[in-house]
Amino acid sequence: MIRLDADRSVEFCDGFRRRDFLHAGSLSTLGLGLGQFLGLKAHGAVDKSKDMNCIMLMLVGGPSQLDTWDMKPNAPVEIRGPYKPMKTNVPGIEISENFPRMAKHADKYAIVRSMYHTAAAVHDTGHQMMQTGRLFQGGVEHPHIGCVLGKLRGPKGDVPPHVLLPRPIGNTGGNMPHGQSAGFLGKTFDPFVLNADPADPNFRVPDMLPPDYLTALRVDRRRNWREMVDKTVNKFETSQDARLLDSTFHQAYTLMSSEKAREAFELHREDEKVREKYGMNRFGQSCLLARRMIEAGVRFVTINMFETVFDEITWDIHGSKPFSPISCYKDLVGPMFDMAYSSLLEELQQRGLLENTMIVAFGEFGRTPKVNPAGGRDHWPQCWSILMAGGGVKGGQAVGASDDIGAAPKDRPCTPGEVAATIYHSLGINLETELPGAQGRPIPIVDRGVQPIRELFS
């Protein structure tokens, strides 16, 4: 992935650091702008009349369907859990009492209550399928949806097409890829990764600012950057990535020096009341930053609500350490999501952006219908709920249904592949598009025959 940090640096005699160049100056070289420069466009792959965006909220840990958006108040106590349903502003749709602000915005989003998959009940496989539409097999890593969009459409102006906030998913126990890279498309199309906590009072994105040495160098020295790299980093210059440098070097400098790109990350420009409305925490401020990214021209933003499921309060409510208790849905996780998600819906609608910005919020699976002996719920990919809004999605509806105890889809079963197809459909990407895979073998953008969840648009 394209990173903003650098673990080590080599300083040249004039103060120019090699790793600063590789990580900051060559951001465009590694994928920010290549859609335009390399002409990587598939004929008929993109409906250019659609200028759609997407914000993907990855709810790491797997929210319980029974304690969030598919309540079963008439089930036995060991099934229904500790929370009560709450009426929303849409007659007939109820959600958990832990989401009071969401209840006032149910007309803006749709709930899909019949998600399922048949792969292993581990976090990593769910992350793969929900973010790429595919399970990784045979050593093939499929690209994240945002990376595909970046390849097919390229950036708008000086900002990257796909930004990942605040950090990539870390260890969730499976030691497998999480589906947040460009996979077989190559690192050229990896997302721009923030690698910082936007809730930190000292938050800034230093590598998005013109490096300090730029103010000290003369214009002619700036023009000689390429010459310095030629003389100093010969090994790098022989690599495939370096061969992209000629056509994108100017774009790299444009990104680094772009006032628009820098301002998009400057949360201190927001009114303090707006920031507090989203929640002064990592997820809340990431959602606010996502709104700013979309306004600045970023096409796709991925937000990881958590980085891991170990020793951190998350949706992963097994009930005993190192995991979370079910009470955290009321005490921390539920309110955190309620504030950020509702504020994002509100502001995008107020600013006229919701119509052309799809917001998808989902975990990697659901939770067991029966509460376990530790008072929590375990992994359950057989059935769970997700949220979809904006981007043409008709709000105020529930698509599909689960059985009486939330254990299996009863009506309109939906798969991760169909979710991916739905996002692509909203973004105006032809589902028949084929991407160049390993050894030149074309790989369909989604499995053949997989279709969008059409009910969401009617």
Residue at 40 is within a domain: no
Q: How far apart are the first and last CA of the chain?
A: 37
**Alpha-carbon span 288 to 294, nearest angstrom:** 10
Q: Say if residue 404 is in the same domain as residue 448.
A: yes
Q: Cα–Cα distance between 51 and 48 in angstroms, integer?
A: 7
Handedness of CA 13, 253, 290, 400 (dihedral sign): negative
pLDDT, residue 248, reads 39
Q: Looking at the structure, tell me whether residues 93 and 242 fall in a common domain.
A: no
Same domain for 22 and 135?
Answer: no
**In terms of domains, do 196 and 221 share one?**
no
Task: Write down which residue in 264, 289, 304 finishes a domain.
Answer: 264
Do 246 and 343 lie in one domain? The reply is no
Instruction: Output the pLDDT for position 212.
Output: 45
Burial class (CB in 10 A: 0-12, 13-18, 19+), 318: buried
CATH code assigned at 336: 3.40.720.10
Looking at the domain assignment, is residue 429 inside a domain? Answer: yes
pTM for the whole structure = 0.85
Q: Is 295 exposed, middle or buried, given 0-12, 13-18 or 19+ CB atoms closer than 10 A? A: middle
Number of Cβ atoms within 10 Å of the Cβ of 66: 31
The helix (H) or strand (E) run that includes residue 439 is none
Domain annotation covers residue 136: yes
37: in domain: no
In a domain, 41, yes or no: no
The string of pLDDT tens digits covering residues 222-243 is 445 555 555 555 554 455 545 4
Instruction: Out of 229, 246, 264, pick the residue that ends a domain.
Output: 264
Is position 35 within any domain? no
* 133/191 same-domain check: yes
Q: Which of 396, 385, 386 is nearest to 91 (CA)?
A: 396
One domain, residues 217 and 298? no
Domain end call among 242, 264, 286: 264
Would you state the pLDDT for residue 391? Answer: 97
pLDDT of residue 256: 60
Note the pLDDT of residue 368: 98
Whether residues 280 and 141 fall in one domain: yes
pLDDT for res 11: 36
Does residue 299 sit in the same domain as residue 348?
Answer: yes
3-class DSSP assignment, residue 369:
coil
Q: For the stretch 76-113, what's the b/e string if a residue is b when 16 or more beta carbons lie within 10 angstroms of its beta carbon?
A: eeebbbebebeebebeebbbbbbbebbbebbebbbbbb
Indicate whether 331 belongs to any domain: yes
Is the same domain home to 233 and 365?
A: no
| Any domain includes 295 | yes
226, 319: one domain: no
Residue numbers in the chain where pLDDT is lower than 50: 2-42, 209-223, 236-237, 241, 243-252
**Residue 250: which domain range?**
1-30+206-264
Our count of domains for the chain comes to: 2
State the pLDDT at residue 257.
64
Q: Are residues 12 and 102 in the same domain?
A: no
